[in-house]
Amino acid sequence: MRIIQGCVSLKRAVEIPDDLTVRVLSINELPPNWWANPHSDGTRDLGTDWAKELETAVLGVPSAVIRREREQKYLSRRERNFILNPAHPDFARIDFGEPERFVFDKRWRQGRRTT
C-alpha cells in the first residue's frame, strides 16, 4: 500500500494483558501547562524519564485534546492516551492487531481551534 501524507489513516487494535502493570498519571502529577501546544520541556522530560526507567511497558496520561467544551476542564478520569515503551521487556506481551484503514469524519476539522 502506498501511503501519501494526509491521505490515508491507519489504526491498529492494541490488547494489553490484564496482568500487565500500567502506570497511570493524574493531572496532579503533570507539569504546569501539560496540555499546551507546543508541549513543555517538563512534559517531554517526564515521558523520557519514564521510558528510560523501564518501570512499566505502558504509561497512561490524560488526553490534552479531549476536554469539556463549556468548562474547558480536562476529563482526566475518562479520556486517556497510552504510551508504549518498546524497550521494556513486557512490551513483547502486548498484542497488536492488523492495520486497518479509516477515515476521519469531515466534521472533525470544522471549527477546529488552534488554541
What is the pLDDT at residue 10?
82
What is the pLDDT at residue 28?
86
Distance CA 24, CA 59 (A): 6
What is the pLDDT at residue 45?
94
- 80, part of any domain: yes
Q: What is the tens place of the pLDDT at every residue in 51-66?
A: 999 999 999 998 877 6
Q: What is the DSSP letter of 67?
A: B
- 4, part of any domain: no
**For the chain, the helix, strand and coil percentages under 3-state DSSP, each to the nearest 5:** 20, 20, 55
What is the pLDDT at residue 1?
47
- 23, part of any domain: yes
- 32, part of any domain: yes
How many folded domains does the chain comprise?
1
Give the residue numbers spanning the domain of 86: 9-103
For residues 85 and 56, is the Cβ–Cβ distance under 8 A? Answer: yes
What is the pLDDT at residue 108?
61
Q: What is the tens place of the pLDDT at every residue in 11-45?
A: 899 999 999 999 999 888 988 888 888 888 999 99
